Structure 1
């Protein structure tokens, strides 16, 4: 993927892969079948692969710039130095918005799925209370250390992969070709709904806040970090493909309209799959998988936000310093989760809009500025200027699509 010129002894590759993979493969994946139901499976896969390619390379561009700075430097330091205060303010707002709104989305999702889980055990736990309790648990893990997050994410991701294959192995066995190919709708149109899926795909490949965290974990070892990004994102792409196949092969296209009308939260989709399959064991596996999916994304996203805020405000790595950072990280989205517990689908969409700046436009500009100033001696993303232009156009295009969608100027499958 790129030219590497330095190697150093570093911790296990698996730790970094699970941080990236665990951050990406999470609650966001549950929005994909709902928002992609208009474009349906084959068109959606084309968009997903294109988004994976662009988001992988934008992450590599962040790494390229980050390697020229001290370990622990995050976006605030790098953007201010390379692009100036103006871009740093814009980028800082977009980073904070994306990470805070994703944290809120996962609090909303955790409350929803835990409420559904407890209901299966005949316990009535309000979604607000469940989300609040889960947020406190994640806050404690993130407060401990990056290593604690890595180990916990490894455990959660391992459990998630096991339950994923148990669940979707069964789901794939129930896939109906007639449903997947949408035979029932002879004059169906798909292409008009293609563009509006892009911001959701972008948000579903968000891991960029963890690139500086990986440098803290591995040091300036681009070879290992590149492998973490490549393997972690490929893992996500593979599981997303299986997920779309399993859902769109079991739930008829028109039924997704009703799922979207109910807010598109995780519990609604799980109930729809359970209703189609009518299997108690599969229902249980879906619930368990959903819990692990939320947990892994929650851990990864909040670690990225935690490290960004620590760098921004200059908090040290002591217990008190980490407590201050944890308070800033979790308090605002927890309040949002208590006030608005069902905003998951909307939050994921708006995260995609703001992430276009932070995860596409700014990384391309950072790579360009970094090459001009430093020559990128440690690592350079392949593709030269055309790759930078592609990532810039990808980001700008996503932003325009989301704005058009917000003003109801794009077709909606309903």
Structure 2
């Protein structure tokens, strides 16, 4: 059951707000280029996930990014890695608040309770901050329930919208545009942040951890490909482009897929469940990260409450100030934060640990210097793409 829970935790962390952003950025290139670039990013992130798992298992139980970076990169590496971790996961939490709070408020409005403005963001933070503050078991139980509900809603959406998929929309391609989808896809496939917590949860069982990493990351790949088939095939490209320009989730285009009220309602449920599972995974790792930074061995009670407040208050504030920040936050998080923390950092840590510290690795071809160099070049390429996107938008 722990292995299954770990698999769902990884899948839930990945299938989140990124699900609502992927069709926005792959829609410009088309379905076939979208499949290709999605698979490439998945394979890259799975490989660097294995690298980070190996490095984490070199460390004492309870270690997180700060402790790991300090051992292999020194104080400077610890500070820079810590800054990038905070930057990345606060960007993601901002995106989750921006997309999730309106959906939660919409649910309450069905009962005649209205939340608007900063109130709906506060509601989102209080509800799911409480789940995180209670502890890992609370996160685990809620995450499993939300993951199951999300998958059920996903099947309903596929079944309801399949008849609206048009072949001509799926065959339209613009291969050059697929490169600009990579930063958001990096955000969508990020799960490395839960690896240190998962090592403790699965009692450092490498076989169980690798099982959870593979299946927990493969499931989102399948879900993402089918999801792009539905959205790109059913939603007019101009509608997708408009949602991208406005910086809002793809859920805003649901109504154009079908006029059925059930589809629209289930689409909102699906989006909400996807955001919550990702929020819980990121918040889980943020609490452990901050606890590691403050050198708190016990992360329960009032100490855990304080860590939870530090995790939720900054993204609540920024999302409330700029509610339309969703797509921008995802792109910046992926192109810069994910590229460093889940790309360059695992590669560098494995390289130093194996070739400088002479620590034993069990990764066969993946620990080869040539492979590590190739992964590094690809990461720098994605960072360059995000720089170009930011420059173009400014």
* Same topology, TM > 0.5: yes
Q: CA RMSD in A?
A: 1.9
Q: How does 1:255-334 map to 2 (within 5 A)?
A: 255-263=239-247, 265-266=248-249, 269-315=250-296, 316-334=298-316
Q: 1:39 to 1:82 in 2, by over 3 A?
A: same
| Offset, 1:346 | 0.7
Does structure 2 conserve the Cα–Cα contact (< 8 Å) formed by 1:111 and 1:128? no
Aligned residues: 391
Aligned to 2:353: 370
| Offset, 1:322 | 0.9
| Offset, 1:393 | 1.6
Aligned to 1:389: 373
2:8 counterpart of 1:12: no
For normalisation by structure 1, the TM-score amounts to 0.90
2:24 counterpart of 1:34: yes
Gaps of 5+ in 2: none
Q: Take 2:385 and 2:337, find their aligned partners in 1: how far apart are those partners?
A: 12
SS state of the match for residue 42, structure 2?
A: helix
Gaps of 5+ in 1: 1-10, 183-188
Q: 1:195 to 1:280 in 2, by over 3 A?
A: same
SS state of the match for residue 158, structure 1?
A: helix
In the alignment, which of 200, 204, 227 is matched to residue 188 of structure 2? 204
Aligned to 1:3: none
SS state of the match for residue 236, structure 2?
A: coil
2:46 counterpart of 1:60: no
Aligned to 1:126: 116
Aligned to 1:8: none
- Select between 400-409 and 124-133 the one with higher mean Cα deviation: 124-133
2:72 counterpart of 1:91: no
Q: How does 1:151-230 map to 2 (within 5 A)?
A: 151-182=141-172, 190-230=174-214
Aligned to 1:148: 138
Q: Take 1:223 and 1:387, find their aligned partners in 2: how far apart are those partners?
A: 23
Does structure 1 conserve the Cα–Cα contact (< 8 Å) formed by 2:32 and 2:170? no
Aligned to 1:4: none
In the alignment, which of 344, 347, 360 is matched to residue 343 of structure 2? 360
Does structure 2 conserve the Cα–Cα contact (< 8 Å) formed by 1:115 and 1:127? no
SS state of the match for residue 237, structure 2?
A: coil
Aligned to 1:25: 15
2:228 counterpart of 1:244: yes
Q: 1:376 to 1:382 in 2, by over 3 A?
A: farther
Aligned to 1:47: 37
Q: Take 2:106 and 2:26, find their aligned partners in 1: how far apart are those partners?
A: 24
Q: Take 1:270 and 1:194, find their aligned partners in 2: how far apart are those partners?
A: 21
Does structure 2 conserve the Cα–Cα contact (< 8 Å) formed by 1:60 and 1:381? no
| Offset, 1:380 | 2.9
**Alpha-carbon displacement from aligned partner over 1:31-72 (angstroms, at most 9, x marks no partner):** 111112221111111111000001011111111111111110
| Offset, 1:93 | 1.1
- Select between 382-391 and 70-79 the one with higher mean Cα deviation: 382-391
SS state of the match for residue 342, structure 1?
A: coil
